[in-house]
Structure 1
Amino acid sequence: MSQYPIILIPGEIERAKSALPPVPIFTEPLPQKPGTKPQKVNNTLIAVGTAVAIPTIPVVSQLTSIPGWLLLLVAAGAIAGHAWHQITTYPQRKQKHDGEVADYPRKLERYEQEEQEHQEEVKAARSPERVTEFRYKLLLEVLSQTVPHDGNDSPATRNPEEAKFGNHLSRYFPRNIHTRLTLRIPEFRHPYTPDFAYIDQGLKLYIDIELDEPYVYHTGAPTHDLGAWKDNKRNNFFNNKGWVVVRFSEEQVICYPHSCCKTIAQVIAQIIGDTSTLNQFDNIPDLQQQRQWTEQEAVEMAANKKRDNYLCQNNISNSNPVILMTSLIKTKQQVSQSLPPNNITLTRAQSRGAARARHRALNLSISPPTNNTTLSSLVSCPYCSAKVKTTKLELHKTNKCPKRPLL
Structure 2
Amino acid sequence: MMRQFPIILIPPEVQRIAQSKPQAPEFNIEIPSVPAFRQPKPIHIQEALGLTCGLVVVVAIVTLISKILGLVLLIVGTVVIILRIRYQFQTYKKRYKKHQDTLQHYLAKFEAYSHQEIKYQRELAIAHAPDRIMQFRHQQYRDYFAKVSTSGDAIAIKESTNPFGKNQPTDEQAIEGVIYYFGITLQQYVTGTLYQGVKLFIPSIDYDWSPALVYIDPVLNLHIAIEISVPSDNAAIIMRDDLAERFLVDSGWIIIKFAQEQILQSSTECCKEFAKLLDRLSFDDNVLPKFADTPDLLVVKR
TM bucket normalised to smaller: 0.5 to 0.7
Map of 2:270 onto structure 1:
260
Map of 1:71 onto structure 2:
none
CA distance in 2, matches of 1:30, 1:20: 30
The one-letter code sitting in structure 2 at the alignment partner of 1:244 is I
Q: Does 2:288 match 1:271?
A: no
Map of 1:177 onto structure 2:
194
C-alpha offsets along residues 69-125 of structure 1, whole Å, 9 cap, x if unaligned?
Answer: xxxxxxxxxxxxxxxxxxxxxxxxxxxxxx997864454234312322343344345
Identity of aligned residues (%): 21
Give the CA deviation at 1:8: 2.2
Give the CA deviation at 1:30: 5.0
1:204 aligns with one of 216, 221, 228? 221
Alignment of 1:39-188 (within 5 A): 104-125=102-123, 127=125, 130-144=128-142, 145-146=144-145, 147-153=147-153, 159-160=172-173, 161-173=175-187, 176-186=193-203
CA distance in 2, matches of 1:118, 1:4: 51
The one-letter code sitting in structure 2 at the alignment partner of 1:17 is A
Return closer, same or farther for 1:221/1:19 CA change in 2, 3 Å cut-off.
closer
CA distance in 2, matches of 1:20, 1:119: 20
Q: Does 2:270 match 1:245?
A: no
Map of 1:401 onto structure 2:
none
Give the CA deviation at 1:281: 3.4
C-alpha offsets along residues 9-41 of structure 1, whole Å, 9 cap, x if unaligned?
Answer: 33223223333442422246858979xxxxxxx
CA distance in 2, matches of 1:150, 1:176: 13
- 8 A Cα contact 1:23 1:121, kept in partner: no
The one-letter code sitting in structure 1 at the alignment partner of 2:26 is P
TM-score (norm 2): 0.59
The one-letter code sitting in structure 2 at the alignment partner of 1:213 is V
C-alpha offsets along residues 169-201 of structure 1, whole Å, 9 cap, x if unaligned?
Answer: 123315610122233435665443232111111
- 8 A Cα contact 1:259 1:284, kept in partner: yes
Residue aligned with 1:153, SS:
coil
Runs of 5+ consecutive residues of structure 2 not aligned to the other structure: 37-96, 155-170
- 8 A Cα contact 1:176 1:199, kept in partner: yes
Runs of 5+ consecutive residues of structure 1 not aligned to the other structure: 35-98, 294-407
Map of 2:209 onto structure 1:
192
C-alpha offsets along residues 143-187 of structure 1, whole Å, 9 cap, x if unaligned?
Answer: 211132241338xxx932133222321233156101222334356
CA distance in 2, matches of 1:167, 1:106: 74
Map of 1:305 onto structure 2:
none
CA distance in 2, matches of 1:281, 1:31: 53
- 8 A Cα contact 2:21 2:136, kept in partner: no
Map of 1:281 onto structure 2:
291
- 8 A Cα contact 1:195 1:211, kept in partner: yes
Larger radius of gyration: 1
Return closer, same or farther for 1:159/1:106 CA change in 2, 3 Å cut-off.
farther
CA distance in 2, matches of 1:202, 1:235: 24
Give the CA deviation at 1:139: 1.8
Map of 2:6 onto structure 1:
5
Map of 2:15 onto structure 1:
14
The one-letter code sitting in structure 2 at the alignment partner of 1:196 is L
Residue aligned with 2:128, SS:
helix
Map of 1:337 onto structure 2:
none
- 8 A Cα contact 2:6 2:300, kept in partner: yes
CA distance in 1, matches of 2:20, 2:129: 8
C-alpha offsets along residues 248-275 of structure 1, whole Å, 9 cap, x if unaligned?
Answer: 1112112222221221122112222754
The one-letter code sitting in structure 1 at the alignment partner of 2:185 is R
CA distance in 2, matches of 1:189, 1:140: 34
Return closer, same or farther for 1:264/1:120 CA change in 2, 3 Å cut-off.
same
CA distance in 2, matches of 1:222, 1:243: 24
Map of 2:41 onto structure 1:
none
Q: Which has the higher contact order (CA 8 A, sep 6+)?
A: 2
Residue aligned with 2:287, SS:
helix
Map of 1:25 onto structure 2:
27
CA distance in 2, matches of 1:280, 1:136: 20
